[in-house]
Amino acid sequence: MKGITKILQNCMGIVLLGASVLSHHTLVAVAQDKPVYNQQQVEDVAQRLEGIMDTSARARVNPNAANVRMTACRVSVDNNSQRANKSNKPIFLYQEQALSSELNKPYRQRFLEISSVNNGRTVRSLSYKPADPASFANFCNRPVTERSVRLTDIGKPVCTVYLTRSGENYIGVTPTQGCPANVRGAVRITNTIFLSETGMNTWDRGFDANGKQVWGAKAESYEFRKITQ
């Protein structure tokens, strides 16, 4: 854990560069350059997010920690060609989280659009809340040929994480101001993630209107590790 924290501290300057895609000056600079996309990193991030992860390792040593399963799979989106070009094609994933004891009752469901931004220096994960979440519960259990959705099905964008390569891993952050929310007393949320080949550590936090943290990670992260079935 200390090693991951040190990596995060050393890489924060790089992460802020990825997040600076929101700034006016960065956008102007990118507009002046010939676009350079990094489709390999887009594919790499998508592959690391795909599959099944859970927090069972932490739950075994801490009886107060919930055992949560995160499942993600690739989906095809109709009319996606209208949103892409040959060198920068978004990858769409469906992702859900549920308590390992209640897998048929996911409490968080999102579609993720993974793409290259910031002139190829950053991978963007833009999350959408499905218009009809109940209809997509356990969506990844369906055959690959049945994981096709319409563009209108993926819902409205709710939050963005910008990921920057750091050695063999990726460090991701939400925008500095966080993302608007209305979840368990929080009006905005922030997140920092450490994405490796074996899993993901997340520092997901919710803040009220006064800027007070009302839920989420504090000193320790949520530790998701990939599992095979």
* Model pLDDT for residues 130-156, shown as the tens digit of each residue: 989 999 999 999 999 999 999 999 999
Q: 153-188, pLDDT tens digit by residue?
A: 999 999 999 999 999 999 999 998 899 998 889 999
Instruction: Output the pLDDT for position 20.
Output: 41
Q: Where are the domains of the chain?
A: 2-227
Are 110 and 71 contacting, i.e. CB atoms less than 8 angstroms apart? no
d(CA 188, CA 176): 11
pTM: 0.81
Q: Is the pLDDT of residue 18 over 70?
A: no
Q: Is the pLDDT of residue 23 over 50?
A: no
Q: Is the pLDDT of residue 213 over 70?
A: yes
Instruction: Output the pLDDT for position 5.
Output: 52
Greater confidence, 113 or 85?
113
d(CA 109, CA 96): 4
Which CATH number is 2-227 given? Answer: 2.40.128.590
Greater confidence, 32 or 111?
111
Q: 87-110, pLDDT tens digit by residue?
A: 678 999 999 999 999 999 999 999
Q: Is the pLDDT of residue 55 over 70?
A: yes
Give the containing element (helix H, strand E) for 56: helix 56-61
